[in-house]
Structure 1
Amino acid sequence: MPTPDFRPTALADRPVPADRPLPTHGPVEVRVPRQRRAPEPAYPERPSATAPRPVEVSEAPQGLAGRRALVRLLTGHGLATLAQTTTSLAAGAYALERTGSASLASLTVALGVLPYVVLSGLAGLVADLLPRSTVLAWSCGLRALLVAASAGVMVLDGPVGWLAVLAVLAAVAATPAYPSVAASVTQCVPDEGLERWNAVATGVENLAWLVGPGLFGLLMVVGCPPSVVALVAAVVCTVAVLPVLGVRLSRPARGSETSPGWAAEALAGLRLVASRPRLRAAMGLAMVDNFLYGYVVVTLVLLAGGAGGVLPGALTVGALVAVVVTGRLARAVRTTRLATAGLLAFVLALLGTGLATRAAGVDLRLALPLVGLAGAATLVAEIAAVTVLQRDSDPAVLARVFGVYDQLNVGAIAVGSALAGPLAQVLGAGPALVGVAVGAGVVAALVARGLRRAPAV
């Protein structure tokens, strides 16, 4: 079909050279309709799990609101842990009163620790799949119900076996709490404030475990039976739920949309720690630190003699000082160096304490400042190790990493505590402390070398 010619007749009759284009009626202007800009999202896009230094977005934004949210989470977690610890000791005292068996009383208390060693990894998975504030609220609420149930069993003079079951269930409910709190720190505060707020979080965690026995002892001294102690703990645990309920953190970012299965998800934190040398070194450093802590807590009771609780009190005072000064130290010293220095100072302080022990007893003039230094150094090392784990872990599995942390370090404390008595009986408390400090110092030097050489993520 021939192409129609739309030129005027006069132009159509003229011959047109082959190398010239046909004339047109002028340039053709093509108008492209203006596209409207899409509205910007209310929150920035979540980073992927492979981003080197991601910051998760939460409904409690970083800043003043984030700090307030974190304070509320720490308050609830601290009060719930204090109440749970107090109830566990009250259950042991009740078992001793009912049965007269020290072994059964000890078993009742020990059952309240066992789930931390077994289930913390799986609990970290729960804290990675759900909003961490929601996980902590459920943990505090369930613990409040179980503590109240334990108090009811004691008030009604119920069987000891029920208390053992309730102690296990309360510990199971508590296992997601610390992984949730540790992972929430990165949501609520900026990177430069991690050391300072980790000091606060670690201080709350440790003080809750220390104040619980103190509250139990105080109530027993004034004549309260175990049932009344448990009732007081139930009230404290109920109050712990209130500050947590008002916090809303977003669901953690997932590394991928496809799930590899529950078993693989549960082991993701362990695989991450095993695959990264820096995480392995930080975890190893924390394990050495907590092994020594478990060992020294029992040893100080053996060394105290007529000094009563003076030496354990000095350890607590040193830890309180560390909570205050660690943030300032972190601004002047690199975090990895701070972790190494804290652990080595802990080892040297324990070595000096062991050398200050004679056959007649411990020299308090030398031991008190050394034990205080040990209390500060152990907490500094742990805070720095926690900060390394937070910064170098993928945010999608951060709570699972701290589930592994809880498993390994509670186990390290248990091993250290279990070894203290037999070694002191065979070698003497002072010489055994010297030997353990030397051995731990060698391991600490190797771990610190690995932490220093491992590349940052």
Structure 2
Amino acid sequence: MSSTTASNTPRAGLLLRDQGFLRLWCATTASGLATWAMPFLLGLAVLEGTLSAVGLGLVLALRTAGFLVAVPLGGLLADRHSRRSVVLWSGLAAALATPVMVLGLGASTALTAAAAVVVGAGQGACRPAFQALTAEVVAEDDRQRANAAITLSVRVTTLLGPGAAALLAVVTGAGMLLLATAGLWLAAALLPAWGTALPRREERASFAAEFFDGLTEARRHPWFLAGLGALAVVITAGYSATGVLLPLVSRDQYGTEALLAAAMTAYTAGALAGAALLSRWRPRNAGWTALAGLGLYGLAPLSLVLPLGPVAVLAAYALVGVGIELFNVPWFTAAQREVAPGKLARVSSLDFLVSYGLAPVGLALIAPAAQVLGTGPVLVGCAVLCFAAPALAALAPGARGFTAPVGRGRI
């Protein structure tokens, strides 16, 4: 890829005036906001006394289970039938199950948990379908800007959402706000335009055969497997350090939990800056740039090892936020460009399955590891893994530009 020139920048304005993309952007923003809001609002329900802490854990665990089951299934269905149809039905399922969750608050944790499975399934099924639908609706030259615009909206909602939700909850209550997310799911289901449908196949293999066909397609792209492996390591090590050890360091080293909130705000602000940068800039070596950005996650656990002061921690988390979007936007764009169109949803589902599926493993293991080995050594180990995994992935064929190596043409 070549660096962005001034002639490229007007296309960003043209993209924002494209009705098909605007509808897709609004839909993905709505689904992202609804996905983020659910655990936060359920946490507010615990504070209100309509849900117990044990109930919260059960509901979120079952939501995650529904998500993980539906991600590969959604990818299969989106490649087999229509990406737009999968978005429609997954959004409607989440929208219809949300009021059931609200009915269960304060009355039946089992009912809330059962509905959470359906909501999680809707969240999971729509992810690969949205990813593939973007490739249908947006021309190839505009996809990096489109992916940057989508991630910008997600970051803005996560930055402003907690404060706004907490203020509104004082007036309406967590249950009413949770009910409002059903409207967001309706918007996600109904807003997107219908993309360019894939050619209909007369004969279809079994679901298992099509799933393994998607794995075969993923193996055709060494840069994808290497990048996915690096992402899995970073999520397992780096995300776990942020989720579990940052609160402990904030309390024990700095005597306040305020550092936790400030660090996450700095991370989100950095991610916003990274997405804004990539809406205008195309790195010459997009793959290496993306993997270097992913490696910046090692700064997060490294900043917690020594008492360097809150400013150093906040600066590290801001750089981590920039880096994660330096990875995300080229990564999604490359998959939409390089993967065979009829298999894109299945390959994307593998990406989301690994990304979300391994996070609970790291979260579960890091606290016992810190108790046995000490917080400092575990943080150093996490930092080393976050630096080393993307560096090794950069050696894979095609990793330099996230593209097919010479001699392997694109399908």
Q: Name the TM tier (shorter chain).
A: 0.7 to 0.9
Q: 2:368 aligns with which of 410, 422, 425?
A: 422
**Contact kept? 1:141, 1:241, Cα under 8 Å:** yes
Per the TM alignment, residue 129 of structure 1 is displaced from its structure 2 partner at its CA by 2.4
Matching of residue 385 in structure 1 with residue 385 in structure 2: no
CA 1:100–1:122: 2 relative to 1, 3 Å:
closer
The 3-state SS of whatever aligns with 1:251 is coil
- The aligned counterpart of 2:180 is 232
Q: 1:314 aligns with which of 266, 290, 293?
A: 266
CA 1:233–1:161: 2 relative to 1, 3 Å:
same
TM-score normalised by L of structure 1:
0.74
Q: 1:75 aligns with which of 26, 30, 36?
A: 26
CA distance in 1, matches of 2:221, 2:101: 43
CA 1:240–1:272: 2 relative to 1, 3 Å:
closer
**Contact kept? 1:117, 1:410, Cα under 8 Å:** yes
Higher mean Cα deviation, 264-273 or 163-172? 264-273
Counterpart amino acid of residue 115 in structure 2: L
- The aligned counterpart of 2:300 is 350
Per the TM alignment, residue 73 of structure 1 is displaced from its structure 2 partner at its CA by 1.8
Per the TM alignment, residue 92 of structure 1 is displaced from its structure 2 partner at its CA by 5.5
- The aligned counterpart of 2:240 is 295
Per the TM alignment, residue 190 of structure 1 is displaced from its structure 2 partner at its CA by 2.5
CA 1:183–1:211: 2 relative to 1, 3 Å:
farther
Q: 2:58 aligns with which of 107, 110, 123?
A: 107
- The aligned counterpart of 2:284 is 333
Matching of residue 375 in structure 1 with residue 326 in structure 2: no
- The aligned counterpart of 1:87 is 38
Deviations 1:138-197 (A, max 9, x none): 22222221112222333xx43110000000011112222111111122222222222222
CA distance in 2, matches of 1:402, 1:211: 28
- The aligned counterpart of 2:126 is 177
Per the TM alignment, residue 315 of structure 1 is displaced from its structure 2 partner at its CA by 0.6
Q: 2:276 aligns with which of 324, 345, 348?
A: 324
The 3-state SS of whatever aligns with 1:113 is helix
Higher mean Cα deviation, 86-95 or 333-342? 86-95
CA 1:402–1:337: 2 relative to 1, 3 Å:
same
CA 1:288–1:391: 2 relative to 1, 3 Å:
farther
CA distance in 1, matches of 2:164, 2:76: 33
Counterpart amino acid of residue 163 in structure 1: T
- The aligned counterpart of 2:310 is 364
Q: CA RMSD in A?
A: 3.0
CA 1:250–1:195: 2 relative to 1, 3 Å:
closer
Matching of residue 199 in structure 1 with residue 145 in structure 2: no
Deviations 1:420-457 (A, max 9, x none): 43344445545422221112322222222115377264
**Contact kept? 1:80, 1:237, Cα under 8 Å:** yes
Per the TM alignment, residue 216 of structure 1 is displaced from its structure 2 partner at its CA by 4.4
- The aligned counterpart of 1:17 is none
- The aligned counterpart of 2:218 is 273
CA distance in 2, matches of 1:302, 1:377: 24
- The aligned counterpart of 2:6 is none
- The aligned counterpart of 1:407 is 353
- The aligned counterpart of 1:41 is none
**Contact kept? 1:135, 1:180, Cα under 8 Å:** yes
Deviations 1:7-27 (A, max 9, x none): xxxxxxxxxxxxxxxxxxxxx
- Quick check: which has more Rg, 1 or 2? 1
Per the TM alignment, residue 101 of structure 1 is displaced from its structure 2 partner at its CA by 4.8
CA 1:432–1:167: 2 relative to 1, 3 Å:
same
Matches within 5 A, 1:31-180: 67-91=18-42, 94=45, 101-154=52-105, 157-180=106-129
CA distance in 2, matches of 1:169, 1:210: 27
Higher mean Cα deviation, 112-121 or 223-232? 223-232
CA 1:78–1:64: 2 relative to 1, 3 Å:
closer
TM-score normalised by L of structure 2:
0.82
- The aligned counterpart of 1:29 is none
Higher mean Cα deviation, 124-133 or 97-106? 97-106
- The aligned counterpart of 1:436 is 382
**Contact kept? 1:87, 1:147, Cα under 8 Å:** no
Counterpart amino acid of residue 171 in structure 1: G
- The aligned counterpart of 2:9 is none
CA distance in 1, matches of 2:163, 2:361: 23
CA 1:160–1:100: 2 relative to 1, 3 Å:
closer
- Structure 2 residue ranges without an equivalent (≥5): 1-13
CA 1:99–1:137: 2 relative to 1, 3 Å:
closer
CA distance in 1, matches of 2:98, 2:227: 35
Deviations 1:47-88 (A, max 9, x none): xxxxxxxxxxxxxxxx75994322312322322342344334
Counterpart amino acid of residue 270 in structure 2: G
CA distance in 2, matches of 1:329, 1:447: 23
**Contact kept? 1:182, 1:201, Cα under 8 Å:** no
Per the TM alignment, residue 325 of structure 1 is displaced from its structure 2 partner at its CA by 0.5
**Contact kept? 1:354, 1:434, Cα under 8 Å:** no
**Contact kept? 1:301, 1:312, Cα under 8 Å:** no
- Structure 1 residue ranges without an equivalent (≥5): 1-62
Higher mean Cα deviation, 113-122 or 390-399? 113-122
**Contact kept? 2:78, 2:86, Cα under 8 Å:** yes
**Contact kept? 1:80, 1:143, Cα under 8 Å:** no
The 3-state SS of whatever aligns with 1:449 is coil
CA 1:212–1:133: 2 relative to 1, 3 Å:
farther
**Contact kept? 2:148, 2:279, Cα under 8 Å:** yes
CA distance in 1, matches of 2:163, 2:366: 22
